[in-house]
Structure 1
Amino acid sequence: METNRLTRPLRDLAAWTAFFRNAEIPVLAQSAGALEDLRAIEDDVDANLIGETFSSDPLMTLRILAHLSKHRPARVVTQPETVTASVVMMGITPFFKAFGQLASVEETLQDMPEALEGLREVLRRAHRAADFALGFAVHRLDHDAAVIHHAALLHDFAEMLLWLHAPELALRIRGAQQADPTLRSNMIQKDVLNVTLPELAHSLMLAWRLPELLMRITDDQHAEHPSARSVLLAIRLARHTAKGWDNAALPDDIRDIATLLNISESATTALVHELDS
């Protein structure tokens, strides 16, 4: 159970960044269990197996990338962009030494089921966005498909961390959004937290020295780059279809995705339904 939860907002972006930079990052219980299963057969494990095992857990992915940024050898100039590449750089035995028995999301929020469900909603959206983004990248024959998948999966990591470490504040934000759906998310976040979640995510990416390509893809300033468009349109589609395929914004999403992929809108509709299945 989390003992150092925030119940009041911190004063500014620097304070939030410092808090989360040093905070524990719990992982999905499935990942914590899989880690111990792999540890038991360490001699038979390679980087690809580790990468595949944790590819659907954004929190484990974030934890690995953040750890490596802090312990990257001085001779290494560029940061690996995927979990698999990170493990290759670390080595199998150092990987297992670095990650002992990990706290799980489910344990951390076991006394707050409403917050756990809020986090699970974000995780479901992240998984769907990652599937869409990977599908778009594969269709475009993008060589950075794996990084694009990671970027979509991690796009909302600041919101995930908020649910884990400040669930009361996350619930307050969700309550305000439900009370008045016309309010802009950034305005509500600023009012409740003194920062917006996109600001916090970008600041943490800089603090953790996350891969440059990952930062560019998740930075709205690079929104017109095809790789970034793949991620941002996947995020939009996942948000707008979280509760069904009748959202009024969906036609615009389909049109923009069709433009990105250079196919018809009818073909795009068929593709996104196939990716979601």
Structure 2
Amino acid sequence: MSAPHAHAPLTQALPDLSRWTAYFRDAEIPVLASSAALLEEWRANEDAVDAHVIGEAVASDPLMTLKVLSFASSQRSSRLLADAETVTAALVLLGITPFFNAFGPQPTIEQRLGDQPEAFGGLQRVLRRAERAARFALGFAVHRTDPDAEVLHSAALLHDFAEMLLWCYAPQLALRIQHAQRVDPNLRSTVAQRAVLNIELGDLEQSLMKAWRLPELLTHITDDKRGNDPQVQSVRLAVRLARHTADSWGNPAVPDDLQDIGALLNLSAEHTLILVQDLDSGR
């Protein structure tokens, strides 16, 4: 899980979903430098850590989360694992020593994009949004007493992983999408993605999750096209709110977000706003 693949950055869009899936399916996934450094600290003193310690630390790194879950899923054929829907569950089933054996020193986002500050800034923005969305989704799930609350946290954290990979491997294309939406703030993300990439990133995400055989529940609740399933709604609304409030709570789309979240949680608009702002501040 550590040897880098020779994936040159893409400067031209691939023609279709199958080609995009094939490109990313075998690409080395970089992680945050802080995650890579922690991994090396723990490797030097393996007996001092357990699945929960590592799982909690990785919970704020979407790409490391993706990497662990995809590796765990790849081990299912050897009957070592059942479905592992969170990093902690994957580590419990894998075992700490096999985990360190599989995950050597990690390539980092900072190494990959260190000489591309605009692309690095774009990726950091998506990472911050994912962390906030995961916090919202977990809060909504707890409010609903959903037994899969931790899985919903993982799902929201991973919801935009295809966009993160795009920033890492096709930063010029990601910047073109960003520029198009800044020029036209009403331009829908999916329209901009199709124009630049020939695909929608949501479709790429679902295709990769199936290619990596990620758990069915995780794949299901990250699919925005699944309709009114409360778990799908929890993640979709969390991601939507995080996106709309990335710069300010004054975004004109926020009242509609609060109304839909209130309907899901059976709360008034006033109490919904209090809840989401408390979640956002970590209270």
TM class by smaller structure = over 0.9
Given the superposition, is the C-alpha separation of residues 102 and 76 from structure 1 closer, same or farther in structure 2, using an over 3 Å criterion?
A: closer
Structure 1 residue 226, shift from structure 2 partner:
1.3
User: What SS is found at the alignment partner of 2:251?
Assistant: coil
For residue 165 of structure 1, report the CA deviation from its aligned partner: 0.4
Aligned to 1:135, the other structure's residue is in SS state helix
CA–CA distance in structure 2, aligned partners of residues 165 and 199 of structure 1: 18
Return the letter of the residue paired with 1:226. P
The alignment partner of 1:263 has SS state of coil
Aligned residues: 277
Distance 2:62 2:109 in 1: 12
TM-score normalized by structure 2? Answer: 0.94
* 1:232/1:270 CA distance change after superposition, 3 Å: same
Unpaired runs of 5+ residues, structure 1, are none
| CA–CA separation in structure 2 for the residues paired with 1:67 and 1:3 | 19
Cα contact 1:217–1:223 (8 A) shared by 2: no
Structure 1 counterpart of 2:50: 46
Off by >6 Å, runs of 4+ in structure 1 = none
Identical columns (%): 60
Q: Residue type matched to 2:52 in 1?
A: N
Cα distance between partner residues in 2 of 1:37 and 1:77:
26
Counterpart residue type for residue 241 of structure 2: L
Indicate the residue corresponding to 2:262 in structure 1: 258
Q: CA deviation at 1:203?
A: 0.4
Contact 1:152 1:231 in 2 (8 A): yes
Give the SS at the match of 2:60: coil
Q: Residue 274 in 1 paired to residue 275 in 2? A: no
Alignment of 1:146-185 (within 5 A): 146-185=150-189
Letter in 1 for 2:235: V
Q: 1:232 to 1:3 in 2, by over 3 A?
A: closer
Quick one: distance in 2 between partners of 1:159 and 1:212? 21
What is the CA-CA distance between 1:252 and the residue it aligns to? 1.1
Counterpart selection for 1:99 from 96, 103, 106: 103
8 Å contact from structure 1 (residues 223, 232) kept in 2? no
Determine if contact 1:133/1:230 at 8 Å carries over to the other structure.
yes
- In structure 1, the partner of 2:134 is 130
Hey, what's the Cα distance between the residues in 1 that align with 2:41 and 2:73?
26
TM-superposed deviation, 1:122: 0.4
Q: Which residue of 1 aligns with 2:86?
A: 82
Unaligned runs of 5+ in 2: none
> What whole-Å deviation, never above 9, does each CA across 1:197-220 have from its counterpart, x for those lacking one?
011001001100111111111112
Q: Which moved more, 1:59-68 or 1:42-51?
A: 42-51
Using the TM superposition, name which of 85-94 and 63-72 deviates more: 63-72
1:37 aligns with 2:47: no
1:68 aligns with 2:76: no
**Cα distance in 2, alignment partners of residues 191 and 245 from structure 1:** 29
How far does the alpha carbon of each residue in 1:216-240 deviate from its partner, in whole angstroms, 9 at most, with x for none? Answer: 1111232311111111111111111
Flag the 1:14–1:145 CA change in 2: closer, same or farther, 3 A: same
d(CA) in 2 for partners of 1:190, 1:74: 38
Amino acid at match of 1:178: R
